[in-house]
Amino acid sequence: MAYVRDSEAPRLSAPIGSIGAYAWAKDKLFPTPLSALGTLAIAGLFLIIGWNLLDWAGIRAVWSAPDRELCAVDGTGACWPFVFAKFHQWIYGLYPFEQRWRVNIVYVLGIISLAGLLIPSQPAKNWNALFFFVIYPIIAFFLFYGGIFGLPVVETDYWGGLTLTLIIAVTGIVTSVPLGILLALGRQSTMPVVKTLSVVFIEGVRGVPFITVLFMASVMFPLFMPPGVNPDKLLKAIIGGSMFASAYMAEVVRGGLQAIPKGQYEAAQALGLSYWKMMRLIVMPQALKIVIPGIVNSFISLFQDTSLVTIIGLYDLLGIVQAGFNDAKWKSPQTGNTGYLALAVIYFIFCFSMSRYSQYIESRTNRGLKR
Amino acid sequence: MTKTEKDIPAVELNHVNKWYGQFHVLRDINLNVAKGERIVICGPSGSGKSTLIRCINRLEEHQQGDIVVDGIPLTGNLKNIDDVRREVGMVFQHFNLFPHLTILENLTLAPIWVRKTPKAVAEANAMKYLTRVKIPEQANKYPGQLSGGQQQRVAIARALCMNPKIMLFDEPTSALDPEMIKEVLEVMVDLAEGGMTMLCVTHEMAFARQVADRVIFMDEGQIVEENSPKEFFTNPQSPRTRKFLEQILH
């Protein structure tokens, strides 16, 4: 039986009710009675939680008060005046009040140059990178620490709050990427010494909790050093954080390297590219793109792990917020709750921004790039 | 060009042996390829033909014997390896284009970074070769947007952009859909007629008949037979060759 189509089948629009919001809800939210029940139950739960939060943080909350008096009344909600009163301290820590303009300059410079780096269309990328990665840290250090141009010295003990958190996190983030790449390459190296050193470093650091690294750096390290040699507490925390982040970063990068087909290496070699050019031009751009989510995951982890430096006596954001709870002027049953909620919001803003930015970069690099 | 320079063989292999672990993958390979000569290498899978041509640009390391490419001996000397790789272009079965770069960037990358060619010159040269492989209009696309046949032609153009004296082809049509094989073979024929020294691992027997100066049949790591295409196909000497030809020529 032969069959030959003699007329074109018509191209029709999709049936009514099969696309659009109604179809979506019917398909995704209420496909069967049981899932409809589940949808309603979860929606109800969210409503209850949302209402309670709104009630506590908004309706019953105290919005302005000179001290703990109003917050201590039974049945009140969040104690927002505490947050307003302490907010400067949360940002600057114990940095001397009349010197805080120095910190502000660092913030402004940092935000401008970081924005320049993060906006893909910004033309002077190389100069911007040079400024942000080399010149800016030097400027920032001397502004923070002082001691030149007649700026009074501010010891690192006085650095604190969000500023300290950012110092540790940004240094860790910026150093962990190149170190992580080198460690990942080292781990794949055919040179036994390089390979062994990389593996020992990665596994050694990953095998120990961050808190232990910090304790060892602050408590045990001085015991092994000659008397009088005791590097700055903050410096030790920064080095510890960077080492820790690098080891994790190395494994993330290694994951990306493993996804690159052998043919890419061979094609690069056959064209005469040297090892470093091959890595830089062919392998890393592809490998790093694949592991953007993992890299950002590491950044976020590190950002949050900085809160552990509290235990070695540094007052990062978490430390300074908690210190405020003991202020007799503001002690109330709701002070702690309010402080932690505000703290969570601040951490969330930073981490969520990193996450969104990475998704933006991912979708950008995906354009026209199908394998 | 002086006579002596011309006499240097393009590729010279003397008693080359190679092992993967305990497995003896290349056994006593002797092969001389003169400049401008076109060699087709065939044989059953696992016979070592790919390994053989991959030894010529040091993607694989041989353990015994000498390989001399355009007068440069391939030893552990890294500079020699770099020098050889500049002279030898390679086309792979799976194209191995760089997916994160556009076609034009794929073609100009090595000239710019290895040969230090100025970007504008490299791009003009790249367009010349893209035109030669008949896809200049694809220059700004990414490899993933091209068909297999187009990708393989880009891969050939990419190798040509380095101005190689010798081209190696490792089963360039084996991963292609049947309707795309022809367009790639046409480019290869064009290249052969232009006088390029070529070593080509392929089972395209029509191509071998048309352009090869010599056909080499390998089996189990050895060169079993080496002959002119006409003799090879009409009058194979070794029983192993005959058996192989019966299987592939239906």
**pLDDT score of A370 more than 70:** no
Note the pLDDT of residue B3: 47
Is residue B103 within 8 Å of residue B154, measured between CB atoms? yes
Q: Which residues pair with A155 in a beta bridge?
A: none
* DSSP run (H or E) holding A95: none
Do A45 and A101 lie in a common domain?
Answer: no
Q: Is the CA virtual torsion A62, A63, A68, A70 positive or negative?
A: negative
Do A275 and A313 lie in a common domain?
Answer: yes
Q: Which one of B82, B97, B144 has the shortest CB-CB distance to A370?
A: B144
Residue A72 counted as domain residue? no
Q: Which residues pair with B73 in a beta bridge?
A: B68
Q: How far apart are the first and last CA of chain A?
A: 42
Shortest distance between the Cα of A274 and any Cα of chain B, in A, equals 8
Question: Which has more pLDDT, B151 or A83?
Answer: B151
Note the pLDDT of residue A256: 92
Residue A79 counted as domain residue? no
In one letter, which amino acid is B168? L
* DSSP run (H or E) holding B87: helix B78-87
Chosen domain end from A116, A136, A153 = A153
Note the pLDDT of residue B171: 92
With CA atoms as reference, the chain B residue closest to A272 would be B85
Residue A370 counted as domain residue? no
Q: How far apart are CA A173 and CA A189, in angstroms?
A: 24
Half-sphere exposure of A258 (CA within 13 A, CB side): 8
Contact B114 A369 (CB under 8 A): no
Note the pLDDT of residue B126: 94
Do A274 and A289 lie in a common domain?
Answer: yes
Based on its alpha-carbon atoms, the radius of gyration of chain B, rounded to whole angstroms, reads 18
- Name residues whose C-beta falls within 8 Å of residue B15's C-beta, 6 or more positions apart in sequence: B28, B29, B30, B64, B65, B66
Do A103 and A173 lie in a common domain?
Answer: no
Task: Please tell me what DSSP assigns to residue B37.
Answer: -
Helix, strand, coil % in chain B, rounded to nearest 5: 40, 25, 35
Q: Mean of the per-residue pLDDT values for chain A? A: 85
Q: Which chain A residues are Cβ-neighbours of B51 within 8 angstroms?
A: none
Note the pLDDT of residue A194: 92
Question: Which has more pLDDT, A5 or B1?
Answer: A5
Chosen domain end from A137, A153, A169 = A153
- Domain carrying residue A142: 96-153
Note the pLDDT of residue B1: 44
With CA atoms as reference, the chain B residue closest to A261 would be B96
Note the pLDDT of residue A23: 84
**pLDDT score of A225 more than 80:** no
Shortest distance between the Cα of B215 and any Cα of chain A, in A, equals 24
Percent of chain A at pLDDT > 90 equals 26
Q: Which chain A residues are Cβ-neighbours of B86 within 8 angstroms?
A: 272
Note the pLDDT of residue B27: 92
Do A41 and A144 lie in a common domain?
Answer: no
Q: Does A266 touch chain B (CB under 8 A)?
A: yes
Residue A13 counted as domain residue? no
Question: Which has more pLDDT, B68 or A133?
Answer: B68
ipTM of the complex: 0.91
Of the listed ranges A49-63, A88-102, B7-21, B90-104, the least confidently predicted one is A88-102
Do A223 and A166 lie in a common domain?
Answer: yes
Sole residue written with tokens 């090892």? A275
Alpha carbon A174 to its chain's center: 11
Contact B94 A263 (CB under 8 A): yes
Q: What b/e string do you get for A69-99 counting C-beta neighbours within 10 Å, with b at 16 or more?
A: eebbeeebbbbbbbbebbeebbbbbbbeeeb
CATH of the domain at A215: 1.10.3720.10
Percent of chain A at pLDDT > 70 equals 98
Residue A52 counted as domain residue? yes
Do A342 and A197 lie in a common domain?
Answer: yes
What are the pLDDT digits (tens) for A326-359? 887 888 888 888 889 989 999 999 999 999 988 8
Contact B92 A286 (CB under 8 A): no
Q: What are phi and psi of B73, to 5 degrees?
A: -75, 135
**Helix extents (H) in chain A:** 21-24, 33-54, 80-92, 100-118, 125-130, 136-145, 161-188, 192-206, 210-215, 221-224, 233-258, 262-270, 275-277, 284-290, 292-305, 317-325, 335-366
Note the pLDDT of residue B113: 94
Note the pLDDT of residue B67: 92
Note the pLDDT of residue A143: 77
What are the pLDDT digits (tens) for A280-330? 999 999 998 888 888 988 899 888 888 888 888 888 888 888 888 888 788
Q: How far apart are CA B20 and CA B27, in angstroms?
A: 12
**pLDDT score of A97 more than 90:** no
Residue A258 counted as domain residue? yes
**pLDDT score of A255 more than 80:** yes
Sole residue written with tokens 């380095």? B162
**Helix extents (H) in B88-204:** 103-113, 119-132, 148-160, 178-193
Domain count for chain A, please give it: 3
Residue A70 counted as domain residue? no
Q: Which one of A264, A272, A281 has the shortest CB-CB distance to B96?
A: A264
pLDDT digit string (tens) for chain B, length 250 residues = 444 556 788 899 999 999 998 999 999 999 999 999 999 999 998 899 999 999 998 999 999 999 999 888 888 788 888 889 988 999 999 999 999 999 999 999 999 999 999 999 999 999 999 999 999 999 999 999 999 999 999 999 999 999 999 999 999 998 888 888 999 999 999 999 988 999 999 988 888 998 899 999 999 999 999 999 998 988 888 899 999 988 887 6
Q: What are phi and psi of B34, to 5 degrees?
A: -80, 160
Is residue A158 within 8 Å of residue A230, measured between CB atoms? no
Q: Which one of A263, A272, A368 has the shortest CB-CB distance to B86?
A: A272
Distances (CA, A) of A354 to A69, A106, A304, A350, A357: 39, 20, 12, 6, 5
Note the pLDDT of residue A61: 80
Give me the total of CB pairs closer than 8 Å, taking one residue from chain A and one from chain B: 71
Residue A87 counted as domain residue? no
Is residue A176 within 8 Å of residue A245, measured between CB atoms? yes
Q: Does A367 touch chain B (CB under 8 A)?
A: no
Do A230 and A119 lie in a common domain?
Answer: no
How far is it between the farthest Cα atoms of chain B?
55
Is residue B9 within 8 Å of residue B33, measured between CB atoms? yes
Do A320 and A283 lie in a common domain?
Answer: yes
Q: Which chain B residues are Cβ-neighbours of A264 within 8 angstroms?
A: 96, 98
Do A245 and A313 lie in a common domain?
Answer: yes
Do A275 and A225 lie in a common domain?
Answer: yes
Which of A271, A276, A290, A364 should we substitute to test contact with B (largest number of B Cβ atoms within 10 Å)? A271
Q: How far apart are CA B169 and CA B184, in angstroms?
A: 11
Q: What are phi and psi of A75, to 5 degrees?
A: 85, 0
| Binding-site residues on chain B for chain A (CB distance < 8 A) | 57-59, 82, 85-86, 88-90, 92, 94, 96-100, 109-110, 113-114, 141-142, 144-145, 155, 158-159, 162
Our CA dihedral for B231, B234, B237, B238, rounded to 10 degrees, sits at 120
What are the pLDDT digits (tens) for A148-199? 887 777 777 778 888 889 888 988 888 999 999 999 999 988 899 999 999 9
- Put the strands of the sheet holding B88-91 in their side by side order: B88-91, B166-170, B197-201, B38-42, B214-219, B222-227
Q: Which chain A residues are Cβ-neighbours of B160 within 8 angstroms?
A: none
Which of B69, B86, B94, B98 should we substitute to test contact with A (largest number of A Cβ atoms within 10 Å)? B98
**pLDDT score of A91 more than 50:** yes
Contact A272 B82 (CB under 8 A): yes
Contact A272 B59 (CB under 8 A): no
Is residue B223 within 8 Å of residue B240, measured between CB atoms? no
Sole residue written with tokens 């232990």? A212
Do A131 and A44 lie in a common domain?
Answer: no
**pLDDT score of A101 more than 50:** yes
